[in-house]
Amino acid sequence: MRPPLSADEERLLTELAARSPSDRVPLFLELARRQSARRRPADLLMQFERDAFVRASDADQRTVVRFDAAALEAAEGFEAVLLSPLAPLGTCSVVSPTTQDRSITTTRNTEVVSDPTNVLALACARRLLAGERHVRLCTVHQVVRPQRFPAKAGWSQHFRLFAMVEAGPSRASHGFEVEAVVGHAAVLVRFFRACEQLGCRFPGLRAVLHVAPDAEVLGGRIRERLTAELPVLPVAVETLRSGYYQGIRLLIGAERPTAEGTYCELADVGVFDWASTLTSDRRMRFVASGLGIQLVPLLFRV
């Protein structure tokens, strides 16, 4: 929890917030210059050792590249996009019910990417507004998140995410959402099967479909299609209790082969209103999925 601001701090913050971004940037840059001028080489080494934000990942890069390739190959129907490490300020907090505190803000009116699905939503919106009817994008990105994670295997402040997004106009009988959710799940199952060729095992692979009370019809259609088209992925249904999603969330996970009985959630598919918000067009639908890809070799390789 953030400590309350003093009266002087509140006045200073109000004054800075009233300025345009172009007027604030020189002040922030000068502050950074003055702070860095006081630092010694020993300070850099100490921070590099102790600061979880800058510490190297536990994952081997050659291994990571192989799993990245497997994910992108499984998503052959999606255009692969190489994102910038930075995104416009507010990319997550403006279009989704979250706070700016969940992203690392820079001094130049940008933020470090904390969720590539939000950035890909911007790319989808641009294409929809330019006249494209159906957009399917994917990426693998090293993200950074400021919230503290538990000190356990595979968890860190920066980590790799494989993400897919799909956007386009609504269709009858929730056709867009059903096709997209089931399609994303199929890509993820293909990825898990490819990972088995890389030495991984996913015992008890299964999914939980979280459905809001006002989305039961859509949830029923998605479950029916999942059962018919992906029989290797058992699906249970629970009530959705998060306002982050627009009625539907599909979680996919498995038990760790080296820690019997330990279930780990790996992938998340959800329906969102981001495309309609960004394009100001209520007809537009948006489905996004994310997979903590570095967890796969760290926790499921035997």
Token code pair at residue 127? 């294409």
In a domain, 2, yes or no: no
Beta bridge partner(s), residue 267:
252, 291
pTM for the predicted model, two decimal places: 0.90
In angstroms, what CA-CA distances link 231 with 59, 186, 212, 226?
Answer: 32, 11, 24, 7
Beta bridge partner(s), residue 167:
135, 286
Write down the pLDDT at residue 265: 94
Q: Find the CATH number of the domain harbouring 250.
A: 3.30.930.10
Q: What is the tally of structural domains in the chain? A: 2
Shared domain check, 288 and 265 = yes
Token code pair at residue 50? 């102790």
In a domain, 18, yes or no: yes
What's the CA gap between 32 and 21, in Å, rounded?
16
In a domain, 266, yes or no: yes
- DSSP reduced 3-state for 76: coil
Query: Of 115, 201, 124, nearest to 169 (Cα)?
Result: 124
Shared domain check, 248 and 107 = yes
In a domain, 1, yes or no: no
H or E element: which one contains 227?
A: helix 216-229
CB-based contact 118:273 (threshold 8 Å)? no
Shared domain check, 89 and 214 = yes
CB-based contact 240:249 (threshold 8 Å)? yes
Query: Of 61, 63, 73, 112, nearest to 90 (Cα)?
Result: 112
- N- to C-terminal Cα separation, the chain: 40
Shared domain check, 214 and 123 = yes
Shared domain check, 162 and 29 = no
Q: How many CB atoms lie within 10 A of CB 25?
A: 15
Write down the pLDDT at residue 151: 63
In a domain, 212, yes or no: yes
Shared domain check, 76 and 198 = yes
Q: For every one of its 302 residues, what pLDDT tens digit does the chain have, with 9 covering 90 and above?
A: 667 888 888 888 888 888 887 888 888 888 889 999 999 999 999 999 988 889 888 889 999 999 999 999 999 999 999 999 999 999 999 988 888 888 988 888 899 999 999 999 999 999 999 999 999 999 999 999 887 766 665 567 888 999 999 999 999 999 999 999 999 999 999 999 999 999 999 999 999 999 999 999 999 999 999 999 999 999 999 999 999 999 999 999 999 998 777 899 999 999 999 999 999 999 999 999 999 999 999 999 98
Which residues span the domain enclosing 225? 57-300
Backbone dihedral angles phi then psi of residue 156, each to the nearest 5 degrees: -160, 170
Shared domain check, 122 and 44 = no
Shared domain check, 91 and 219 = yes
CB-based contact 256:264 (threshold 8 Å)? yes
**For 207-222, b where at least 16 C-beta lie within 10 A, e where not — what string?**
bebbbbeebeebbebb
Query: Of 85, 21, 99, 283, nearest to 175 (Cα)?
Result: 283
